[in-house]
Amino acid sequence: MAKFSAEELLQAYAMGERDFRGLDLRGVSLFDTNLGDADFSDSNLENAYLPYCQLNRIVATATNLRQSELGDAQLYQANLAAADLEGARMMRVNLRSANLEQANLAGANLQGADLRSANLRQANLQGANLQQANLEQADLTGTQVQRCNFFRATGVDLSHAMCDATTICPDGHFYG
């Protein structure tokens, strides 16, 4: 796995490169940059600092984004299938129409996130904070939502999710 710095990444992107698969970008620090349409599949972006970044339509399948900062980032139509976002800070992130199938979002902070029409099938949201998130038309089929907080979230359909008495519903009551 080749190690890339923020400067090398931005320079390659500016020159038209969009294939960043399999790179070691641990701890990369970027703020309010545009990396849309890039492919970061199988890359390591653990502890990356990416707030306010434009990441629309990126492909980041099976990518390690553990403990990353993605607050206020734009990830419209991003493909994050099987990505590891455990403990990621994603407040107010735009994940509208994103593919998060089988993604690990355990303990992630998605407060105020836009997840309208997102695919969260079989994702792990255990212990995640989705307070005030918008989940209208999001697919939660088979999603693990134990210890998940949906307080004041909108459009939440838990009928096909894996809930238990530790799941906090939008009205503030525990599931069941």
Q: What is the pTM of this model?
A: 0.96
pLDDT at 1: 80
pLDDT (tens digit, 9 = 90+) per residue, 25-37? 999 999 999 999 9
Report yes or no: 109 and 91 within 8 Å, Cβ to Cβ: yes
Please name which of 75, 82, 70, 129 lies closest in space to residue 98, comparing C-alpha atoms: 75
Contacts of residue 91, defined as CB under 8 A and 6 or more positions apart, other chains included, come to 71, 72, 109, 110, 111, 112, 113
Q: CATH assignment of 1-176?
A: 2.160.20.80
Contacts of residue 6, defined as CB under 8 A and 6 or more positions apart, other chains included, come to 28, 29, 30
Please name which of 120, 176, 168 lies closest in space to residue 147, comparing C-alpha atoms: 168
Please name which of 78, 70, 28, 37 lies closest in space to residue 53, comparing C-alpha atoms: 70
pLDDT (tens digit, 9 = 90+) per residue, 49-101? 999 999 999 999 999 999 999 999 999 999 999 999 999 999 999 999 999 99
pLDDT at 134: 98
Confidence tier at 176 by pLDDT (50, 70, 90): confident
- Report domain extents, the chain: 1-176
According to the 3-state scheme, what is the secondary structure of the chain? Answer: CEECCHHHHHHHHHCCCCECCCEECCCCECCCCECCCCECCCCECCCCECCCCECCCCECCCCECCCCECCCCECCCCECCCCECCCCECCCCECCCCECCCCECCCCECCCCECCCCECCCCECCCCECCCCECCCCECCCCECCCCECCCCECCCCCCCECCCCCECCCCCECC
pLDDT at 154: 98
pLDDT (tens digit, 9 = 90+) per residue, 102-147? 999 999 999 999 999 999 999 999 999 999 999 999 999 999 999 9
Q: Is the pLDDT of residue 24 over 90?
A: yes
